[in-house]
Structure 1
C-alpha cells in the first residue's frame, strides 16, 4: 500500500475518505499514483496538463472522496510527488490570479524564459541552505504563501478543504 506512510502529513483526512484511500479504493488510487511515474520536475513536462494526465486523474479521483476538496487532494499528491505536483489553495489562487487552475499556470510560469523561475527557485533553495530534497515547487509554495500573506490575500478557511 503506497499511501499509508504519508497520507496524514500536514493534512487532515476525514475517516471515511481515509478508509477509501487505504481500503476500498486503494487499488484504484495506487494504480493512478503508479501511472504518474517517478517524481520529476514540473518544469520538464512538455505538454499542457489536463484530463488523461495521470496526476490530473488522481486529483479528480481524490476530490471525489467524501469531504476532500482541491487543497487536501493536491497536498496528498504533492507529498507523493514533491517535484511534480503543486499545492492549490486560496492563497495560491489569489497570488496567481487563477481561481480554478493551478497545474498549467504554475507549469507555464516555471517553463517561461527557458525555465528562469525554476532556476531562480533552485538558487533560492541553495542560498537558504536547504537540502536538495526540498523541491523548487515547495520553495514556490513558501514564497507564494509569504507573498500572499504579506498582501493580505487568500482565506485561511480553505486550508482544510
Structure 2
C-alpha cells in the first residue's frame, strides 16, 4: 500500500502488522503512563467536553477549545487567546462556518489548496499572536476532528509531511478507493476505541507514538 502514497506510513502500517498497530493504539488510549499512573492527557482529547456544549458550539471558537489544546501539550498564549476570542473572533468564526460541517476527509473530492476554506482558516489562525502551524491544526481539529488532521513536528517527520500535510493526507486516505481510511477505521474498532476517535486521529497517534519510540 505504501509505495505509491503521498505520505510515508508509520512503520507498523508499512510492515502490515495490524496487531502491533492495535497494541500501539491501546497503549496510547487505554494504558496508564508508568511515571504518573494516569492516562495520557491526549487520550482524553477526542471526547473531552466539560461544558457539554461542544456540539452546540461547533461553529464558534470558545474558551473550551483553548483549554482542549492543552491536552495535546500546546497552549495559546494569553495575548493570542485575547485576540482569538476578541478582536478576530467574528472573522475566525465566519471562516469556520465556511469550512462547513464536520465530515470525513476521505470524502473530500477537491484538493485542499491555499484557497480552500480549511486552509484559509489555518492561515487566519496563524496570523494570531503565538499560534503557529501546530496549534492552528489542533484548534481546527478540535472543531472538525474527522476533516482536519493534527500536525506537529513529530508527526510531520514520521509521515514525511513537513512541507505539506493536509493535502497529502487527503490523497492518501482516498488512494485505491479509500483503502487506508478503511484500514484505520478497522484498527479503531479492533482497539475498542469509540467513534469519537476519527480515522485521521488514528493515523496521527500511530505516527506520533512511533516518533516517540513506542
Asked if these proteins are the same fold (TM beyond 0.5), I'd say yes
Separation of aligned partners in 1, 2:66 and 2:108: 25
Residue of structure 1 in register with 2:66 after alignment: 7
Structure 1 counterpart SS, 2:124: helix
Structure 2 counterpart SS, 1:150: coil
Shift of 1:7: 2.5
For structure 2, the residue ranges without an aligned partner over 5 or more in a row are 1-56
Q: Give the 5 Å matches for 1:49-88.
A: 49-88=112-151
Separation of aligned partners in 2, 1:17 and 1:140: 29
Query: Per-residue displacement from partner, 1:101-125 (whole Å, max 9, x unpaired)?
Result: 1011111111111111100010011
Structure 1 counterpart SS, 2:86: helix
Structure 1 counterpart SS, 2:76: coil
Separation of aligned partners in 1, 2:204 and 2:161: 15
Higher helix share: 1
* 2:177 is the alignment partner of 1:114: yes
Query: Per-residue displacement from partner, 1:3-41 (whole Å, max 9, x unpaired)?
Result: 113232133110111011111100000000011110001
Structure 1 counterpart SS, 2:195: coil
Shift of 1:129: 0.7
Larger-Rg structure: 2
Query: Per-residue displacement from partner, 1:38-87 (whole Å, max 9, x unpaired)?
Result: 00011111121112211100100011111111000000000110100011
Separation of aligned partners in 1, 2:162 and 2:197: 26
For structure 1, the residue ranges without an aligned partner over 5 or more in a row are 152-161
Q: TM-score, normalised by structure 2?
A: 0.68
